[in-house]
């Protein structure tokens, strides 16, 4: 089936924000418990949202710790930091006008809260490219559950099989695959393992490389 829409993840895919999240969580862990968050904790939370990210955080925190307020404070700090530290991933300025010119519908499905997503789109001036967006505080189940991609496709009036999904995290790739979309990975902090490779339609070093592959008919 012809793909006529592209759904973007945001953190780590469109913007180099994963390091901002990691720093915020490390600072809160240090303030509360005198230690940084272990890398395994960052990886478990990456690409997730809602109750899932709270559960992931809780599994690494001291017994009785308030994981919900930990995540809440993390999002609040990130919302402030991205106002001055937002940086686009390589190729974002290439792929968005390319897809627009080719007539693709574009959606955004992020694990971040609405206020963070809106701030990022406002700061970057990219809001006009997107026909629909869905955020982590607007879904019941976060990635790797397929809910966000199923609902974003529906919001654009598309079936999942009509949609490419661009992701940087294994959780996001799995969510896209479970939704019936076509997952494409542009790794950032985490390289794909074999299980992730097996369900990707393509793995590329940058968003510019995705454009090249689309032009060549490789994806």
Q: At what angle do helices 67-85 and 50-58 cross, to 10 degrees?
A: 110
Nearest to 100, CA basis, from 121, 128, 125 = 128
Give yes or no: 9 in active site.
Answer: yes
List the catalytic residue out of 11, 22, 145, 168.
Answer: 11
Both tokens of 189, joined, read: 């902090």
Both tokens of 129, joined, read: 């490219």
Give yes or no: 11 in active site.
Answer: yes
List the catalytic residue out of 9, 16, 22, 168.
Answer: 9
Rg (CA), the chain: 17
Contact in structure between 109 and 152 (CB atoms under 8 Å): yes
Length of the chain equals 219
Residues labelled catalytic: 9, 11
């Amino acid at each position: 089936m012809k793909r006529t829409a592209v759904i973007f993840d945001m953190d780590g895919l469109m913007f180099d924000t994963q390091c901002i999240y990691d720093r915020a969580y490390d600072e809160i862990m240090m303030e509360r418990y005198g230690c940084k968050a272990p890398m395994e904790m960052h990886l478990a939370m990456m690409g997730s949202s809602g109750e899932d990210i709270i559960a992931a955080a809780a599994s690494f925190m001291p017994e009785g710790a308030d994981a919900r307020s930990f995540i809440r404070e993390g999002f609040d700090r990130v919302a402030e930091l991205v106002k001055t530290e937002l940086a686009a991933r390589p190729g974002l300025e290439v792929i968005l006008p390319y897809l627009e010119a080719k007539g693709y519908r574009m959606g955004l499905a992020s694990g971040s809260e609405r206020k963070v997503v809106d701030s990022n789109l406002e700061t970057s001036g990219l809001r006009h490219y997107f026909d629909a967006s869905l955020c982590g505080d607007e879904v019941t189940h976060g990635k790797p559950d397929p809910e966000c991609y199923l609902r974003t496709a529906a919001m654009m009036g598309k079936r999942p099989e009509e949609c490419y999904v661009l992701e940087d995290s294994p959780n996001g790739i799995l969510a896209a695959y479970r939704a019936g979309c076509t997952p494409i990975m542009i790794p950032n902090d985490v390289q794909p393992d074999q299980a992730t490779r097996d369900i990707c339609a393509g793995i590329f070093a940058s968003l510019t490389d995705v454009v090249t592959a689309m032009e060549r008919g490789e994806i």
